[in-house]
Structure 1
Amino acid sequence: MEGYEPILCAPLLRKVDRELLRLLSSLTAEEWGYRTVSPRWEVRDVAAHLLDTALRKLSMVRDTWFVEKQIPQTPREVVSLVNRLNDEGVSVFRRLSPSILIELMETACEQSADFHESLDPFAQATFNVSWAGEEISANWFDTARELTERWHHQQQIRLATGRPGILTRELYHPVLDCFIRGLPFAYRHVDASPGTNLLLEISGECGGRWVLSREEHRWHFLREMPSQIACSITVPEEIAWMLFTKGIDRDVAKSQIAIDGDETLAEGVLGHVAIVG
């Protein structure tokens, strides 16, 4: 069973970004304007967002350069701040020509990979992983979260332009594992008897199996398969990343997901969002 070991994936950032640079360099002028599954963003906007967030992370975390004075106090304020910063970054960097954006992206990616590889994975991260309900996170979780961002936004571009995805186990499985680490928090308001077990399986060679179990006051992952499962959910790997990043309609996703047992227990998986904003 999965869900309890640290996701030590810092070297994968360099590999994912290498694929991103190849992808962006292959796009035609027309493809930069294609609409993506992110409702308001074209391909150029997703690329601008990836450049902005890499530079923003280096500025704030590596260089401790915090221009924003607003300190969000509630989850709603976190979402509002992140949305504003994202919109501002996209509005600026989408104006760049593809060649300039790619050149800047290459520098940002290299420095970002160097920085994440230099971190002690078990030291405290500057930013907590809020969608997992953590007030304090380790660097390994923040780096894994960064990998999910770099991977899924690149996948949005690939989907929009009809390019082959990067659904390899080396690059995609850690993304799925990171997304799913937020399920105990997503289920925090789901009441069930202690010992109730939920099996989530992501089918395909990049997937895996996670068992979420109810204790007296919380949900947590099990290391071994229990004898009884109240609900099992099987999600195809092709749509799993979209399910957790608001990239697919819930009803469309549900039509492709197999649920066996107590269907009410599947709602937390169907509603889980592993991004901010």
Structure 2
Amino acid sequence: MSQSPIIATPLLEDVLDELHTLLRSLRPDEWHLPTVSSKRLVRDIVAHLLDGSVRRLSMQRDRYTSPPPNGPNRGETLLDYLNRLNNSWEQATQRLSPNVMIDLLEVADRQYVEFFKSLDPLGQAFFPVAWAGEESSLNWFDVGREYTEKWHHTQQIFLATGRESTITERRLYHPCLDLFLRALPYTFSDKTASEGTSVVIEVTGAAGGRWQIVRTSDRWVPSDASNTDPIVHVTIPQDCAWRVFTKRRTADELLAQFPQIKINGEDALGRTVLEMVSVMA
């Protein structure tokens, strides 16, 4: 499991092109289809994607600070605050037609990608990748996090509309999986084990791969070693892997929904793998 930087900006541009093409092909009724993202309809996902692009441009590129209150209320968690922002935006965009939303999205996404191209990948990021346990991140990881966000929401729309996905080829999907799995050491941070204990997760399919973490004296770290005897080996088909990593559910719920997931070895640590969530959820 490498921790090498992933330069996701070119991939992000390609996924957004596929998103725009997909949205242009939808019938009016398909905008109201339910998705696997909580209670969101397709149009709510599109509104959320638009919000992500325009908010990033406003806050980071333009250094704009919205009028108060512009942060969590007293006693409100960051996640609750983000959900409140998302809900208020999605309610406001109910006034927009699909064509208007697509037009706005195409304009915003073009500027969004160009802005990311201007950043030094090894420079300090505007936002840390909190789901990987980071308090500060480099730009490549922040942009990579944006890539996983755009990728999985686009895939949700493909799934909801029954269209054949154009973003699950290895070139686009494998880097997304690799970025998701950067959360694995943080997910295990409160799990103890003897030094040298290893955990392997394998995503099967053409876009999949093998990822491993190993316990040192005081933490879990990524490892590329192939000669270890893991205490648990978790196998997840690529068709459901992205859904496992982007929604908070119990291991029992996931194993019931996706019986093709296999845990071979230490069950408790295997279930911890399934508890990894690589989004703010």
Shift of 1:93: 2.0
Shift of 1:160: 0.6
The number of equivalent residue pairs is: 276
Whole-Å separation in 1 of the counterparts to 2:11 and 2:31: 26
Deviation digits for residues 116-142 of structure 1 (CA, Å, limit 9, x no counterpart)? 111101111010001111000000001
Structure 1 length normalisation: TM-score? 0.95
CA separation of 1:204 and 1:76: change in aligned 2, threshold 3 A: farther
Correspondences of 1:32-111 after superposition (within 5 Å): 32-67=31-66, 70-71=70-71, 77-111=77-111
Shift of 1:112: 0.7
User: Which ranges in structure 2 are unaligned for 5 or more consecutive residues?
Assistant: none
Whole-Å separation in 2 of the counterparts to 1:227 and 1:150: 35
Deviation digits for residues 63-92 of structure 1 (CA, Å, limit 9, x no counterpart)? 111215555699972212211111122112
Whole-Å separation in 1 of the counterparts to 2:149 and 2:30: 21
Greater RCO, CA 8 A, separation 6+? 1
The residue number in structure 2 matching 1:238 is 239
Deviation digits for residues 6-27 of structure 1 (CA, Å, limit 9, x no counterpart)? 1111111110000000000000
Shift of 1:171: 0.9
CA separation of 1:71 and 1:32: change in aligned 2, threshold 3 A: closer
Shift of 1:223: 2.2
Whole-Å separation in 1 of the counterparts to 2:46 and 2:70: 26
Greater alpha carbon shift after TM alignment, 52-61 vs 251-260: 251-260
The residue number in structure 2 matching 1:117 is 117
Match of 2:274 among 247, 270, 274: 270
Greater alpha carbon shift after TM alignment, 21-30 vs 86-95: 86-95
User: Which ranges in structure 1 are unaligned for 5 or more consecutive residues?
Assistant: none
Structure 2 length normalisation: TM-score? 0.93
Does residue 1:178 correspond to 2:179, yes or no? yes
CA contact (8 A) 1:254 1:270 kept: no
Whole-Å separation in 2 of the counterparts to 1:54 and 1:114: 12
Deviation digits for residues 154-180 of structure 1 (CA, Å, limit 9, x no counterpart)? 111110100112211111111111110
Q: Provide the alpha-carbon RMSD of the alignment.
A: 1.9
Whole-Å separation in 2 of the counterparts to 1:168 and 1:238: 11
CA contact (8 A) 1:200 1:209 kept: yes
CA separation of 1:146 and 1:161: change in aligned 2, threshold 3 A: same
The residue number in structure 1 matching 2:222 is 221
CA separation of 1:147 and 1:193: change in aligned 2, threshold 3 A: same
CA contact (8 A) 1:200 1:210 kept: yes
Amino acid at match of 1:163: R
Does residue 1:193 correspond to 2:194, yes or no? yes
Identity of aligned residues (%): 43
Shift of 1:253: 4.5
The residue number in structure 1 matching 2:208 is 207
Deviation digits for residues 17-47 of structure 1 (CA, Å, limit 9, x no counterpart)? 0000000000001100000011210000001
CA contact (8 A) 2:198 2:228 kept: no
CA contact (8 A) 2:248 2:275 kept: no
